[in-house]
Amino acid sequence: MTPSAFHELLRCSRNPWHFLTAHVATQDPARGELRYPHYDYLRELVAATERHRFLLVPKSRQMLVTWTMVAATLWRALFQRPGMYLFLSRNERCAEELLTRARFVLDRLPEFMRPRLSRNSREEIAFAGLDSRILSLPASPDAPRMYSPTGVFWDEMAFTPYDENIWTALKPALDSGGRFVGVSSSGGALNLFARMVTSGSPPVHGGTEGGSLFHVHRIHYSQHPERISDDWKRLASRGLSATRWQQEQEISFAAMSDLVYGEFDPQLHILREDWEINPSWELFRSIDFGYRHPFVLWIQRTPEGEFIVFDEWSADNRTTEEMLTAIRNVDLAHGISEDHVCWTACDPAGAATQDTGISPVDVLRRAGIKLRYRSSRIAAGVERVKSVLGDAAGRVRLRVSPRAKNLIADFGRYRWASGRDEPLKDGLCDHSMDALRY
pLDDT, one tens digit per residue, over 123-165 is: 999 999 999 999 999 888 777 778 889 999 999 999 888 888 8
Task: Let me know if residue 89 belongs to a domain.
Answer: yes
Task: Let me know if residue 213 belongs to a domain.
Answer: yes
Query: Within this chain, do residues 273 and 187 fall inside the same structural domain, yes or no?
Result: no
State the pTM of this model.
0.68
The SS3 assignment for 43 reads helix
How is residue 62 annotated by DSSP? S
CA-CA-CA-CA torsion sign (78, 79, 84, 90):
negative
Task: Let me know if residue 133 belongs to a domain.
Answer: yes
Query: Within this chain, do residues 408 and 377 fall inside the same structural domain, yes or no?
Result: yes
Strand partners, 126: 119, 133
Query: Within this chain, do residues 234 and 300 fall inside the same structural domain, yes or no?
Result: no
Domain's final residue, options 189, 216, 248: 248
Given a cut of 70, whether residue 84 has pLDDT beyond it is yes
- What pLDDT sits at residue 241? 62
Q: Which domain holds residue 363?
A: 266-437
Task: Let me know if residue 187 belongs to a domain.
Answer: yes
Query: Within this chain, do residues 192 and 299 fall inside the same structural domain, yes or no?
Result: no
Is residue 68 very low, low, confident or very high in pLDDT (cuts 50, 70, 90)? very high
Query: Within this chain, do residues 386 and 327 fall inside the same structural domain, yes or no?
Result: yes
43 compared with 92, residue with greater pLDDT: 43
Query: Within this chain, do residues 196 and 296 fall inside the same structural domain, yes or no?
Result: no
- What pLDDT sits at residue 259? 83
Distance of CA 296 to the CA centre of its chain: 19
Given a cut of 70, whether residue 204 has pLDDT beyond it is no
Given a cut of 70, whether residue 211 has pLDDT beyond it is no
CA 413/CA 163 separation, integer angstroms: 13
**pLDDT tens for residues 314-354?**
988 888 899 999 999 999 999 999 999 999 999 888 888 77
- What pLDDT sits at residue 206? 39
Query: Within this chain, do residues 238 and 99 fall inside the same structural domain, yes or no?
Result: yes
- Residue 413's nearest CA partner among 167, 161, 241 is 161
Query: Within this chain, do residues 238 and 273 fall inside the same structural domain, yes or no?
Result: no
Relative orientation angle of helices 40-51 and 16-23, to the nearest 10 degrees: 140
CA 269/CA 266 separation, integer angstroms: 5
Domain's final residue, options 218, 248, 278: 248
Given a cut of 70, whether residue 291 has pLDDT beyond it is no
Q: What are phi and psi of 149, to 5 degrees?
A: -70, 145
Query: Within this chain, do residues 314 and 211 fall inside the same structural domain, yes or no?
Result: no
Query: Within this chain, do residues 140 and 41 fall inside the same structural domain, yes or no?
Result: yes
- Please state, in angstroms and as integers, the Cα–Cα distance from residue 181 to each residue in 157, 189, 259, 356, following that order: 10, 20, 28, 43
The SS3 assignment for 36 reads coil
**Mean of all residue pLDDT scores within the chain:** 88
Least confident of 147-161, 171-185, 193-207: 193-207
CATH code of the domain covering residue 16: 3.40.50.300
- What pLDDT sits at residue 419? 60
Average pLDDT of the segment spanning 60-80: 96
- What pLDDT sits at residue 420? 63
- What pLDDT sits at residue 201? 38
Query: Within this chain, do residues 274 and 168 fall inside the same structural domain, yes or no?
Result: no
Domain's final residue, options 248, 277, 296: 248
CATH code of the domain covering residue 402: 3.30.420.280
How is residue 259 annotated by DSSP? B
Task: Let me know if residue 255 belongs to a domain.
Answer: no
Average pLDDT of the segment spanning 360-382: 87
Query: Within this chain, do residues 196 and 326 fall inside the same structural domain, yes or no?
Result: no
Average pLDDT of the segment spanning 378-394: 81
CA 162/CA 314 separation, integer angstroms: 9
The percentage of the chain sitting over the pLDDT mark of 90, rounded to a whole number, equals: 56
Task: Let me know if residue 257 belongs to a domain.
Answer: no
- What pLDDT sits at residue 392? 62
Task: Let me know if residue 175 belongs to a domain.
Answer: yes
Residues 270/272/277/280 CA torsion (nearest 10 deg): -80
Task: Let me know if residue 260 belongs to a domain.
Answer: no
Q: What are phi and psi of 319, to 5 degrees?
A: -80, 165
68 compared with 373, residue with greater pLDDT: 68
145 compared with 272, residue with greater pLDDT: 272
The domain tally of the chain equals 2
